[in-house]
């Protein structure tokens, strides 16, 4: 059996589940599974974000500058292109994405 894991197919299946729920066809198994899935994703994102924040803290101490200040300067082209700065900028972007994901996951969690 070939499983279609494209984002379009996954989104379609999630829409199908949402419609089943709206129509009152949600089973207890489906509800428990969704709850566990959200809890798992929340914990995973939180753990990854914690590690990224530790890594960012190391850069901040090394260069005596906050990540926010560094990233603003990086985007304005006011830093050189040393590998540390490219890595630091990537970590800032990754942390920002994880913060958004975590906020979304926690926004209506019960």
Residue 77 lies in a domain: yes
Residue 15 lies in a domain: no
pLDDT band for 104, please (50, 70, 90 cuts): very high
What's the mean pLDDT when you consider all of the chain? Answer: 93
Residue 65 lies in a domain: yes
Residue 12 lies in a domain: no
17 versus 48: the higher-pLDDT residue is 48
Please state the domain count of the chain: 1
Residue 19 lies in a domain: no
pLDDT band for 26, please (50, 70, 90 cuts): confident
Residue 16 lies in a domain: no
pTM of the model: 0.80
Structure tokens at 80: 């050189």
Query: 85 is in which domain, residue-wise?
Result: 28-106
Residue 11 lies in a domain: no
pLDDT of residue 109: 62
* pLDDT over threshold 90, residue 22: yes
Residue 61 lies in a domain: yes
DSSP string, 20-87: HHHTT---HHHHHHHHHHHHHHHHHHHHHHHHHHHHHHHHHHHHTS-HHHHHHHHHTT-S---HHHHH
């Amino acid at each position: 059996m070939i499983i279609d894991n494209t984002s379009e197919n996954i989104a379609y299946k999630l829409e199908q589940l949402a419609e089943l729920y709206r129509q009152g066809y949600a089973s207890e198994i489906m509800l428990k599974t969704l709850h566990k899935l959200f809890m798992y994703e929340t914990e995973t994102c939180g753990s990854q974000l914690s590690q990224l924040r530790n890594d960012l803290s190391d850069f901040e101490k090394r260069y005596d500058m906050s990540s926010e200040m560094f990233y603003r300067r990086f985007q304005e082209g006011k830093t050189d292109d040393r590998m540390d700065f490219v890595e630091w900028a990537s970590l800032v972007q990754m942390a920002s994405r994880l913060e958004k994901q975590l906020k979304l996951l926690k926004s209506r969690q019960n």
